[in-house]
Amino acid sequence: MIPAWATPGRKVVCIDAEEDCKPVPGLEWIGTLDGLTKGTIYTLRAVGRDPTFLDPTVKLVEIVRDHDSDGETGYQLRRFRPIITIEEDMLTFRSMINTVPTEPKETTDA
C-alpha cells in the first residue's frame, strides 16, 4: 500500500542506504544504490510499483538509475520518510484544537 504522503514533489529523507544483497530471480544485480545516502533529503519524482520489488517504489529527482534497456529502477519506499514542514505541522495542530467535542445529548425516559 502506498501511503498518502508519497506523492511526486514531496521532500523525503533517506533512512536506509544499506545495500540489500537479496538476488531477484531473472534479474541481474547491479550492486549499487547509485549514491543514495542516509540522512540526505531527496524529492520524489514518481511513485508506483516496480516489478523488481513487491513493495512500493519511488524515483528521485536527484538520482536517475537508468542501467539497462528495461527502464529505470526505483528505490523501495521503505528507505524514506516524509519531511514534515512547519506549515503542515501547524495545520495538523490547528485542526486538532479546532475540533470541539460535542456534549452528550440528554435523554428523557418516558
- Model pLDDT for residues 73-97, shown as the tens digit of each residue: 889 999 999 998 888 888 877 888 8
Of residues 60 and 20, the one with the higher pLDDT is 60
Distance CA 33, CA 61 (A): 15
- Residue 19 confidence (pLDDT): 81
- Residue 110 confidence (pLDDT): 59
Given a cut of 60, whether residue 62 has pLDDT beyond it is: yes
Asked if residue 3 belongs to a domain, the reply is no
For residue 5, what is its C-alpha cell?
504522503
Asked if residue 109 belongs to a domain, the reply is no
DSSP 78: G
Asked if residue 104 belongs to a domain, the reply is no
Are 36 and 14 a contacting pair, CB within 8 Å? yes
Amino acid in the structure at residue 95: S
Domains contained in the chain, number: 1
Asked if residue 15 belongs to a domain, the reply is yes
Determine the Cα angle at 24 with ends 22 and 29, to 5°.
Answer: 75
- Residue 99 confidence (pLDDT): 72
Provide the residue range defining the domain that includes 53: 11-97
